[in-house]
Structure 1
Amino acid sequence: MGLAAGAVYFAGTLYWTSAVMKVYGGMNTVLAALVALALVGYLAIYPALFAAVSSRLLWVAGPAALVAVPLVWVATEYARGYLLTGFPWVLLGYSQVTVLPIAQLASAVGVFGLSALVAAVNAALAWAAVAPSTRQRVLTAAAAALFVAGVAAWGQARLSDGSLTRGGASVKVAVIQGNVPQDQKWDPVHAREIFARYLRMSREAAAAGARFIVWPESSTPFFFEEDPAGGAAIQDLARETGTYVLVGSDQVERASPPRYYNAAFLVGPDGATRAVYRKMHLVPFGEYVPLKRLLFFVSPLVEAVADFTPGDEAVVLPLENGAASTAICYEVVYPDLVRQSVLAGSELLTTITNDAWYGWSSAPHQHFEQAVMRAIEQGRYLVRSANTGVSALVDPYGRILQRSALFNTEVLVGDVGLRSGLTLYARTGEVVAWVAIVFTVLALAATWRQGEGRKGGRKR
């Protein structure tokens, strides 16, 4: 049942993967579908593992083991997020990101804590449905309702307090959504027009008062450091407008063999490059192909993918009156990666991405909502620049201040605060996940001994 439930869940949320592999990976329809099914099958292993462990606990300990079920769920979710490079997409806790009073809990326990909350409430409701007495059913349902109400009341009080949006330094930021179709991004025929569009939109943003301009991932149709004319044009833009410009552009390191990085360059008002961030968590089968020799059957995708090298450090982007950081594309779904940038001194979160790959599917919306959770967890404003959307300005409580439409050419300009305080989650990290893992291992060990004892007793 766990495997089937997992397969249904991931097939429903990741249905768009086959289209991406077909349209942009060069695979035929059948192969793209098979690879997508393989991904779904792999991810379904984790809910299956959850079901197997939970069944074991229930078999040995009875209904009392339902108390442990939320921790088992979190342990398997965390494993999915980090094993074999990890894929922490559409975690259960993200279901609450638009329910802002509940979502505030992430500032204390992160998205895995929210997953635990959702799993706990559902475990309680499951017991309420099958408890042997009416009294037990009513008390369990009432306890679950009161618990949720308490979390919501605390979250609403946090929203009403609003201290994270008052006072302190701020910067007027601009997000440039160039809306460049994926099949035109690297086409020399369109390169000049694409670049001119970004320069023109950036000047419009500066005229509107922006002092920090954020371009999307891989926004330049050239390598920033390798194209003298293109690089000079961006430097001139920063100097002429007196702005900081964050530019997503690939970088090459002249080694043997050469190493390529998905990078972001911060150009200061003097035209100098103030910081360079290299993407640390690459997308498997998107920016590199793991186990190339073993996975020879995805060779069309291998040929379509640039073989990038991961960066190795969090980088703070110095602004005039504070510091920012950026996460490139898929990195933003890794809570601890963003947390590390905050611990390094980031007072403003940015994330740059190119979601043109996903078309009109639900993927751009899934990606955006997962980014919003990072703002709540860290108590920071979030600036998101996406080539084709969704671009947005988000406050530290997860409220959307401005949001672009998909596949629309737009400039968003607004004031965002710079915050230096740390949330409980920023200070403690994945405590909930590690408690869940330790508890699950210990519970399994204990129930295994008890289970063996039962078997021995039956044999006698």
Structure 2
Amino acid sequence: MTLQPTPAPAPDPVVPAAHRPLRRWVALLLAVAAGAALLLAFPPYGLWWLAPVAVALLAAATHRRRLRGGAGLGMIAGLVFFVPLLDWTHLAAGWLPWLLLSFAQAAYLALLGLAGAWLSPLHDRRRALWPLTAGLLWVAQEALRDRAPFGGFPWGRLAFSQGEAPALRLAVVGGAPLVTFAVAVAGGALVALAWRRWSRPRSWPAAAGFAVAAAVVLAGPALVPVAQPAAATRTVAIVQGNVPRLGLDFNAQRAAVLLNHVRATEQLAADVRAGRARQPDLVIWPENASDIDPLRNPDAAQQIAGAATAIGVPILLGAVLRSDIEGEIRNAGILWQPVTGPDLDQLYIKRHPVPFAEYMPLRPIARVVSDKVDLVKNMVAGDTPGVVRTPAATVGDVICFEVAYDAVVRDTVTGGAQILAVQTNNATFNEAEARQQLAMVQLRAVEHGREALMVSTVGVSAFVGTAGQVYRSTGFNEPAVVLHDMRVDGPRTLATRSGHWPELAAVALAVLVLVAATPLRRRRRGARAAAESTTEER
């Protein structure tokens, strides 16, 4: 018996070689690399230049694939990205809610992968459109993720990876959506540059054009002027009182947490009297500095009043306010005057509580997922922007995760805010989460031309200038009191004036592009069906 050599497999007669996708294992590796590059672009790693690379890798992985394959590759990239990015959530909620949240967020990248596959015929016909479509699709994906479900969860937006990048300057023109758009455009230019038949001489001029386009988008924004603040300044002190122990049980230590902030403020007052520190115009404590309701608890009120009297200026403090309804609370920023006490006319109630963390939708179902469900109170949302008028300046107050939501921050500036203050409590998370949040504060300062600060119970606390520069950053899990002269007021930026309209325009264009690609997809399916029919006849 003579063994015959196995013939090589015949090429696919249905799909021409020039229009085949990458091999599956190559596409899978690219999707994994895309998720990893996205992760490394964010704090605490801060390799911001990898963000457009991630966009390019995911676009290449999904190009020319079937819709199901594009969605699957997007899901893989999303899981590689979100599972480690959001690992700090398991410290408070446990591993199952962490994974469920990560899968839910990754599903949006699955939609992005599906859209990328859908547009493959358009990119094959007009490769020069790839940068534009990449920018539009990423903005549209983030617009959806920022809003649904339950008000959305914007963590991990491309724009929030650019805290130290030249592209951050674009926020002054179009806010976070424009920064995301620019990063994705650069990624689209990179994939258009790489996906070429290099044997053709005319490829080189086009490649040079895409390379220049990517470089301009990445580095060009450094030339964009940011808002110039007014000359007037106010000295603001932020107090990071720290907690006895990190973790969920910081709530059981609430008397000690309040006392830490009181003592730190009283020590600042002593330093001022001794000439070791400047007299501040305003003192700001973080979220949950008084987890004991000072409007109902005389001991807490007395301690806060003593600190305000000692320092001699108002204190904007974060407090949890109880209700007559069992289990109902409000997360508030209260202006406490040194003589008259709490100014209830300058009281901000958090407008955007976090679902499944600060209030519990679908509680009976959620109880099956986690036994910590009943630890979550029913946090009632406020209905007015966080505009707090103090003798020193009008403060745009946002609490914790609210800094991630465009409209919540913008409403304070249109309401007259001269500086931005982010009161937060990172005691149930870790330093990576705090630094990711600080990157959002950097973007907001540039976006609205307002100097900003972030003050945390445990850190990281810092001041931020209108060009995104960070001043006087504290360490994590240690007490600190920091003073800084903050410039107040300044003209409203184009981003503040235009609001959500640029994002809506990008979403509308993304939908238009997806619809416009329909005839090309039908034509490709027709060609595939004809090729299959011819093959069967043979």
CA distance in 1, matches of 2:306, 2:318: 17
Match of 2:146 among 81, 84, 105: 81
For 1:18 and 1:409, locate their aligned partners in 2 and report how far apart those are by CA, in whole Å: 25
* CA displacement at 1:142 relative to structure 2: 2.2
Q: How far off is 1:215 after superposition?
A: 0.9
Instruction: Within 5 Å, give how 1:187-266 maps onto structure 2.
Output: 187=252, 192-206=255-269, 207=272, 208=277, 209-254=279-324, 259-266=328-335
Equivalent-residue separation in structure 2 for 1:356 and 1:240 (angstroms): 27
Verify the 8 A CA contact 1:72 1:440 in the aligned structure 2: yes
Matched, 1:118 2:183: yes
Residue 201 of structure 2 corresponds to residue 135 of structure 1: no
Q: Does 1:389 align with 2:459?
A: yes
Aligned to 1:176: 239
Partner in structure 2 of residue 18 of structure 1: 90
Q: Aligned pair in 2 of structure 1 residues 37, 193: CA closer, same or farther (>3 Å)?
A: closer
Counterpart-to-counterpart distance in 2, 1:130 and 1:359: 40
Q: Which residue type is aligned with residue 348 of structure 1?
A: I
Uncovered stretches (5+) of structure 1, i.e. residues with no partner: 23-31
Verify the 8 A CA contact 1:249 1:265 in the aligned structure 2: yes
Amino acid paired to 1:340:
D
Change beyond 3 A, Cα 1:384–1:70:
same
Q: Quick one: structure 1 residues 221 and 6, their matched pair in 2 at CA, closer, same or farther if it must change by over 3 Å?
A: closer
Task: Report which of the two structures shows the higher radius of gyration computed on alpha carbons.
Answer: 2
Shift of 1:408: 0.8
Aligned to 1:369: 439
1:338 matched residue in structure 2? 409
Deviations 1:313-348 (A, max 9, x none): 113211114311211111111122101111011111
TM-score normalised per structure 2: 0.77
Report deviation, 1:111.
1.5
Q: What is the aligned partner in structure 2 of residue 39 from structure 1?
A: 101
Whether contact under 8 Å (2:403, 2:409) holds in the other structure is: yes
Which string of whole-angstrom CA distances, capped at 9 and with x for unpartnered residues, describes residues 215-253 of structure 1?
111112411111012213323432343211011111123
Give the number of the structure with larger relative contact order, counting CA–CA contacts within 8 Å between residues 6 or more apart.
Answer: 1
Q: Give the distance between the partners of 1:140 and 1:192, measured in 2 at CA.
A: 59
Runs (4+) off by over 4 Å: 190-193, 453-460
Among 106, 112, 116, the alignment partner of 1:50 is 112
Letter of the 1:365 counterpart: R
- Choose from 315, 322, 337 the match for 1:268: 337
| Separation in 1, partners of 2:163, 2:500 | 18
Shift, 1:273, TM fit = 2.2
Counterpart amino acid of residue 167 in structure 1: A
Is the contact between residue 285 and residue 301 of structure 1 (CA under 8 Å) also seen in structure 2? Answer: no
Aligned to 1:150: 220
RMSD: 2.2
Query: Residue 414 and residue 205 in structure 1: after superposition, are their counterparts in 2 closer, same or farther (change >3 A)?
Result: farther
Q: Secondary structure at the match of 2:235?
A: strand
Does residue 380 of structure 2 align to residue 309 of structure 1? yes
| 2:282–2:392 contact (8 Å) kept in structure 1 | no
Give the letter aligned to residue 112 of structure 1: P
Q: Percent identity?
A: 29
Verify: 1:8 aligned to 2:80, yes or no: yes
Assess if the C-alpha contact under 8 Å between 2:121 and 2:520 holds in 1.
no
Question: In structure 2, the residue corresponding to 1:267 is in which secondary structure?
Answer: strand
Structure 2 gaps of 5+ residues are 1-72, 198-202, 531-538
Q: What is the CA-CA distance between 1:418 and the residue it aligns to?
A: 1.3
Structure 1 CA distance, aligned partners of 2:389 and 2:281?
A: 13
